[in-house]
Copies of this chain bind each other. A is one copy, B any other.
Amino acid sequence: MFTFGLMEIELSQAEENYLKAIYSLFVVANKAVSTNKIAEKLETKASSVTDMVKKLSDKNLVNYVKYQGVSLTTEGKEFAIHVIRKHRLWEVFLVRHLGFKWDEVHEVAEQLEHVKSRKLTDGLDAFLDFPRYDPHGDPIPDKEGNFIKRNITVLSALKINEESKIVGVKDSSSAFLKYLDNAEIKLGAEIKVLHKESFDNSMMLLIEGQKISISQQISSNLYVKQND
In this assembly, does A112 line the interface, its C-beta being within 8 Å of a C-beta of chain B? Answer: yes
**B residues within 8 A CB of A98?**
119-120, 123-124, 126-127
Which of B97, B108, B114, B120 lies in contact with A117, CB distance below 8 A? Answer: B108
Interface size class of A (residues with CB under 8 A): 20 to 34
Q: Measured between C-beta atoms, what is the minimum distance from A84 to chain B in Å?
A: 18
Q: Is the Cβ of B117 less than 8 Å from the Cβ of A107?
A: yes
Q: Which of A100-150 contact B (CB under 8 A)?
A: 100, 104, 107-108, 111-112, 114-117, 119-120, 123-124, 126-127
Complex CA gap A107/B115 in Å reads 10
A97: nearest residue on chain B (CB-CB)? B127
Partner of A115, one of B104, B112, B119, B123: B112
Instruction: Determine the distance from Cα of A107 to Cα of B120 in the docked complex, in whole angstroms.
Output: 11
The residue in chain B whose Cβ has the minimal distance to the Cβ of A99 is B123
| Main SS class of interface, A | helix
| CB-CB under 8 A for A111 and B116, given A98-B124, A127-B97, A127-B98 | yes
**What is the minimal beta-carbon distance from A115 to any residue of chain B, in angstroms?**
5
Contacts of A114 in B (CB 8 A): 111
**Residues of B contacting A126 with CB < 8 Å?**
98-99
Residues of B within 8 A of A115 (CB): 108, 111-112, 115
In the docked arrangement, what's the CA distance between A111 and B108, Å? 14
How far, in angstroms, from A94 to B124 measured CA to CA in the complex?
A: 9
Q: Bound complex: CA of A98 vs CA of B98, how far in Å?
A: 16
Nearest first, the 6 closest Cβ-Cβ pairs linking A and B are A98-B123, A111-B115, A108-B117, A97-B127, A108-B120, A98-B127
